[in-house]
A and B are shown apart, each in its own frame.
Chain A
């Protein structure tokens, strides 16, 4: 089991993390924005996370921390 923490202040909603996730844990929010006006990434299926850190590797803004 893994756990990801997304720093929403840094997120730009590019979706590269969601694209990289093999377990479809991450989705972009359709309603919640951060202070910069980006729809942030959310760990909606957090229970499926395997802690592979692919999301963090692809995040251009280092907004994701991964624990296992």
Chain B
């Protein structure tokens, strides 16, 4: 009996991500959730700019590439034209928290009925490890070589907390991919978000902490440990909004 096999919602294309990058895990979680909810025939994904720019090659559903940071705006248009479809947005931290901050906040403020999967690896991966809005204090990047100094570079932006100040979002959660247990929890959160959207409940947002062994200059296993021990201090895991359970903080 097969206990694990690749979901049909992912294509046979080989992922281009660096060895040990947990982007691939999140791709699988999103794909499996769509399949398990039976949404394969009416699912549309929006691919970002950044490491996940080729996401349209990997998901076995209709995909649309968006200009840098504008994925929530594209998703808004698609969802309003085709309200019976499930629209998910897959964005990294440079795309969502820096270039696309306006679109992100305004889509959330309008309470668009879309699902945002936010990949937070606290660095610009594709462009070569520059400082991102989410880079941790003291963390080294090519544009802050002695570590992020708040006097010069400011503080990391916590997107879940920021969006939780708005009234409209229905569901906001931060999860991680640091180990098997957290990957299962991440799957649960992503599935819940897509389910809420399919039920027409409103804006759902799942932030997933992801490792970047290449630009953190660590082995894949060390990077997961760093994510579990350091990233989660700045970005605490948990549910920030769940209107289905009356949680609103």
Contacts and interface: CB of A to CB of B under 8 A. Distances in A.
Nearest to A22: B180
Interface of A: 2, 9-10, 12-16, 19-20, 38, 51, 53-54, 56-62, 64-68
Interface of B: 1-6, 10, 14-15, 17-25, 28, 179-180, 183-184, 213, 219-221, 224
A60 B17 contact: yes
Question: Which of A59, A62, A64 has the largest number of chain B CB atoms within 10 A?
Answer: A62
A65 B2 contact: yes
A61 B14 contact: yes
Contacts, number: 71
Contacts of B2: 65-67
Max chain B CB contacts within 10 Å: which of A16, A20, A58, A65? A16
Contact of B10 (A2, A15, A51, A62): A62
21 contacts: A9-B14, A10-B14, A12-B20, A15-B20, A19-B221, A20-B179, A53-B4, A56-B4, A57-B183, A57-B184, A58-B179, A58-B180, A59-B24, A60-B21, A60-B22, A61-B14, A61-B24, A65-B2, A65-B5, A66-B3, A67-B3
Nearest to B187: A57
A10 B24 CA distance: 12
Given A20-B180, A51-B3, A57-B180, A62 B24 contact: yes
A28 to B, nearest CB: 11
A12 B21 CA distance: 10
Contacts of B19: 12-14, 38
A65 B7 CA distance: 11
A10 B184 CA distance: 23
7 A-B pairs with the lowest CB-CB distances in the bound complex, closest first: A60-B24, A14-B20, A12-B19, A66-B4, A14-B19, A56-B4, A53-B4
Contacts of A68: 1, 3
Nearest to A14: B20
Given A19-B224, A53-B3, 9 more contacts: A10-B14, A13-B19, A16-B224, A54-B180, A58-B179, A60-B22, A62-B6, A62-B10, A66-B5
